[in-house]
Structure formats: structure tokens, C-alpha cells
Structure 1
């Protein structure tokens, strides 16, 4: 097993950081790794906003649900769909197709994962912050995003000040299908639920008595940020 695979398999979300800054050369390498990511048709429809202003960091932490590590991490990056560049080149650009929003979301995820893996390969840690979408319009206004550009998620990066356990994932045979979709075997979920129950009960922090099925069905049983569609529509995206 090479060092790249080891880095990937050792991933943990880090939510507590030391006060040590990230070296400028390291940050540049992280960003260059992101820029090297695959891009659909080389459209390059992602923008990254590096937030260094302390007051803005504080407000972003509040907007994201009072997540203190947004404010305290050495670096905080915000990933955005961005078709404003293209519209500036040619006003005939039609950025409001659903397919183009999907491309922006997919490419942002690919770019962000490149950044995170690069950081983790240097001994740094990080965590994705989807909570920015709790208050998408406020975040958008704070960062001054133009038309055809919208926030997706943030990323904290820094030197880890915790060593959490690796969280178990569903087994590959549940996720990976061959040639066609196969019917779910609920016994596989029961086995995984027991593994997650043990993980939650025995991990070093935030212990709880729960299973994966309980967690995800609770999450999916109610509304999921219904304000996101009108937000994207207002930005000129996801209209048709």
C-alpha cells in the first residue's frame, strides 16, 4: 500500500486545531492541487474564497450554526459555483440550466477533495462545512458573490489538535453494483448498524447510543434546506 492510499484510508474530519498557521508554501501547494482537479469540458466553473478577515470568519461561524472551528482554523476556504467568469467573457452564456449547476457542484467537490487530500498528506487536517448553506444568502452577501455565482460549502484546514478514530463506512458490496442495481440486503445494514452503534458508544468524544439507520432516517425525515432552490434561482442558476 503506497502513501497516497494510506492518506485516503486514514481520513478523519478534524474539528479542533492548534494555533499554528499553515505555511504559505503548503497553502499554495494545497490550492494548486485543487486547481489540478478534473474539470468537465475544462469549463473551470469553481471559485475558492480564502477568508482571512477575523470578523467575517466570526460571522461565517455563526451562519454555519455556531461552529467555532470555522473561526479558529488556520485557514477557511469557501467553494462556489462560478459562471460569472464565463458570462463576463460572453453575455450570451446561459448559466441557468440544471446540468450546468450539477457540473458546478460536481467539479467543486472534486476540487475540494484534492485540496483536502493534499493537506492531509502534509500532516494537516480539515473538515467540510456544509452548514454555510443554512444561511446561504447571508454568506453570499458577506462574500460579495455576483450573479451566476453561488456558495456551496466551506472547508476548515489546520494543524490537528485531536486524534479522532476513523469512522466506519458501509461495506463495498453494499455500495458497489455490477452491471445493474442490486436489491439491498437489509442484513448488511443491520450488521453495519451494530458496527456504528459500537463506534458511537466507544469513540473518544461525543459518545452516544445510536445506529447509522437511526441517524440517517432522522436526518432525511424532514425538510432539507428548502431555501436553497430559491437562492440558486435568484443567482441565475438551476432554472430549467
Structure 2
């Protein structure tokens, strides 16, 4: 096993950071790492907004569900699906591209490009001894986030990422077993076998929570997921995305 794989397998979310800002060199290196990610057809349909301003961090923390670590970290990144520059280049080249920019396909390309760039950033940060945490709560109030960050049409802020020097080590959460996520040749649809594998995984997760909380918590994964999915959230998303000029067709 090499060092890169060790870094990947030791990933954990960090939610407490030293009061120590990243240097400009570190920020530039992380963004360069993001840009080295694969991109569909070289379209590079994403942008990254870095947040240093304390008041903006505080407001983003509030909009993300009062997550304190959005405010206190070494640097905060916002990853965006971005087809705005492609609207600009269409004007430069005098080409009609609206049908493409409004398509579900190009929306998916932009989301995937941004996500690949973000994961490169995460791996680069962890390889530098930094900790990270993805912030999906940014999507709680996208209208307000868009206004705060002066985001134009054809751009969707997808999620944030806190980066900084860890104050706590955190713990690696057990993932689903290999045979449950890896399907060879075709998708395996045996529901009874899947339930059996999930019950076994539930035992692992219950033990993880129990040990971590000294017996105060013993959730199962299926129970946790079922409760979460039973309460739909952010149901305004489709309307917001279309308002931004994406995913119309």
C-alpha cells in the first residue's frame, strides 16, 4: 500500500480547527490540485470561491445550519457548477449555445466536474496534513448564498469545504462492505441478499457508535438513513436550478 492510498483510506471529517489561516501558497496549491482533476471534454465547468472574510464565514455558517466550523477554519471553499464562462465564450465566438447550456446533460457535466475538482482538493489537503469537511448544508438557503457571493446565472453553488489544521483527530467511519457496492458485469438485484448484507453492516455501525459514545448511541445505518429520507429536504432545488438557467431541457 502506498502513501496516496493510505491517505485515502484514513479520510475522516474534521470539525474543529486551529485558529490558523492557510497561506496563499497553500491555497494556490489546493486550487491547482483541483484543476488537475479530470474534466468532461475539457469543458472545465466549475468555479471555486474562497472565503477569508470573517463576516461572510459567519453568515455562511448560519445559512448552513449554524455549523460553527464553517466560521472557524483555515480556509473555506465553495465549489460551484459553472457554465457562465461558456455563455461568455459563446458571445466571443458568436455561437448559439443556449440549448446546450440549458440541457440536463451539461448540468450533470458541471456538477460532476465540480465534484471531481473538490475531491482532488480534499485529497491534496489531507496529504498536506490538513483536515477537511464537506458542507452540503450550504444548499439550505441557496438564494441567500447566491446573493452573498454575487453568483451570476448559469452558476450553482453546490457545497462548501472547510480546510484547516485539525484540533481533533476524528475517526474513520466504517463504509459499506466491498461486495455490497461492487457489482461485476451487471447490477446484482437480489433484495434478500442485500437485506442480509445490510443487517451485517448495521451491526458494525451500531458497535462503532456505541464505542465512540460510550454506549450513549447505537444507531443502525439503515435506521438512520430511513429516518432521514422519510423527511424530504431542500425541495426548492429544481426551481432554483431552473431559475439559474440550467437543467431546463
Contact 1:46 1:108 in 2 (8 A): yes
Query: How do 1:1-240 residues align onto structure 2 when only pairs under 5 Å count?
Result: 1-91=1-91, 92-94=96-98, 95-182=101-188, 183-184=190-191, 185=193, 186-203=195-212, 208-240=217-249
| Counterpart-to-counterpart distance in 2, 1:206 and 1:101 | 44
- Name the CA shift for 1:27/1:144 in 2 (closer, same or farther; >3 Å): same
Aligned mates of 1:190, 1:215 — CA distance in 2 = 13
CA RMSD of superposed structures (Å): 1.4
Unaligned runs of 5+ in 2: none
Q: CA deviation at 1:82?
A: 0.8
Please say if residues 164 and 204 of structure 1, whose CA atoms lie closer than 8 Å, have aligned partners that are also in contact. Answer: no
Gap change, CA 1:61 and 1:89, over 3 Å in 2: same
CA separation in 1, counterparts of 2:174 and 2:6?
15
Q: TM-score, normalised by structure 1?
A: 0.97
- Return 5+ residue gaps in structure 1 as ranges: none
Shift of 1:129: 0.3
What secondary structure does 1:90 align onto?
helix
How far did 1:112 drift?
0.2
Normalised by the length of structure 2, the TM-score is: 0.93
Q: Quick one: distance in 2 between partners of 1:174 and 1:209?
A: 22
Task: Determine helix, strand or coil for the equivalent of 2:22.
Answer: coil
- In structure 2, relative to structure 1, the CA distance for the partners of 1:174 and 1:135 (3 Å cut) is same
Q: State the Cα distance separating 1:23 from its structure 2 match.
A: 2.8
The list of structure 1 runs, each at least 4 consecutive aligned residues, that deviate by more than 3 angstroms after superposition, is: 204-207
- Whether the 8 Å CA contact 1:60–1:139 is kept in 2: the answer is yes
